[in-house]
Amino acid sequence: MGTKYWQELLIPYQQAVDEIVLKFNSLKKQYAKIGEYSPIESVYGRVKSVSSILEKIQQYGVEFDTLEETIQDIAGVRIMCQFQEDIQEVVEHIRKRERCDMEIIKTKDYLTESKPSGYKSYHLIIRYPVYSVAGYKDILVEIQIRTLAMNFWSIIEHSLNYKYKQNIPSKVQERLQNAAKAVNEIDREMSSIRGEIQNAQRLFGLKSSSVSSILENIGYLYKLNQGEKAANYEAIFDELFEQEDIIQLILLRKELESQVSLIESEVEK
């Protein structure tokens, strides 16, 4: 099979990966916009390299004309979460998209029972419709969902497999299994203070969006020739910001927003 065959075969896979990564990143941004905690921390996507596909074909004796059904992770998306509990939330979200764009056709739960290596993650194989230059095609995509800590372990372990080709020395394997237990412990500990951490993150998000809105509206007041009012609000803002008084900053944001819409409606008259 020549370069052209692979290039053409992989075009819709790349498109599927790009679209899905964009969709999950957009969800993350929406959570931030409404000041809610996002179960998605980060998203990463890749199309399997031709060399890895060829290795799998060899390893499993896959026929070329069935490779797209047999190798189900040619398109791969990885979603990282801060807490174990977030993983289920992301899975539920994907389930709800069933009739929209992502049909789940297989799940693999390596959370309830990790792999013998110590690997933990939740995998979904979804069917995803793509419209590319070649027309319509349903693409299989593997979505891996795991915590940041699980991801850290998995990346290190995966890179060792490149060196040892599945034959990691037993001493190293043992160490990796110990590290997997430690990762488990970290995730458990983090879960126990999840509420506390989420509150702190929400507060930070609220402060950040309030500051942006206040500064934007002060600038707008200047543009509306309301220099005196704007300077007055600027002084109040400086004081509250220095005092780190988040509640008063939120109230100032609300006041400025209603002031601006009042002035706007007067200007329109």
> Where does this chain touch ligand 0O2 (CB under 6 A) — which range of 32-40, 153-161, 163-171, 216-224?
153-161
Q: Among this protein's residues, is 142 annotated catalytic?
A: yes
Q: Does 120 bind ligand 0O2 (CB under 6 A)?
A: no
* Backbone phi, psi, residue 200, to 5°: -60, -40
Q: Does 158 bind ligand 0O2 (CB under 6 A)?
A: yes
Tokens describing residue 77: 């998306």
Q: Does 176 bind ligand 0O2 (CB under 6 A)?
A: no
Q: Does 157 bind ligand 0O2 (CB under 6 A)?
A: yes
Q: Which of 19, 41, 103, 142 is catalytic?
A: 142
Q: Does 117 bind ligand 0O2 (CB under 6 A)?
A: yes
Question: Given the structure tokens 């069933």, which residue do they identify?
Answer: 98
Q: Does 146 bind ligand 0O2 (CB under 6 A)?
A: no
Tokens describing residue 97: 């998209």
Tokens describing residue 24: 């999950």
Nearest residue to 4 (alpha-carbon basis) of 190, 157, 134:
134
142-157 burial, b for 16+ CB within 10 Å, e for fewer? bbbbbbbbbbebbeeb
Using CB under 6 A as the binding rule, the residues of this chain from 58 to 87 that contact ligand 0O2 are: 73
DSSP secondary structure code for residue 64 in this structure: G
Q: Does 6 bind ligand 0O2 (CB under 6 A)?
A: no
Q: Does 44 bind ligand 0O2 (CB under 6 A)?
A: no
> Where does this chain touch ligand 0O2 (CB under 6 A) — which range of 8-16, 96-104, 111-119, 183-191?
111-119
What crossing angle do the helices spanning 170-192 and 194-223 adopt, rounded to 10°?
A: 60
DSSP secondary structure code for residue 113 in this structure: S
Please give the positions annotated as active site: 142
Note the residues at the interface with ligand 0O2 (CB under 6 A).
48, 52, 73, 108, 115, 117, 119, 123, 154, 157-158
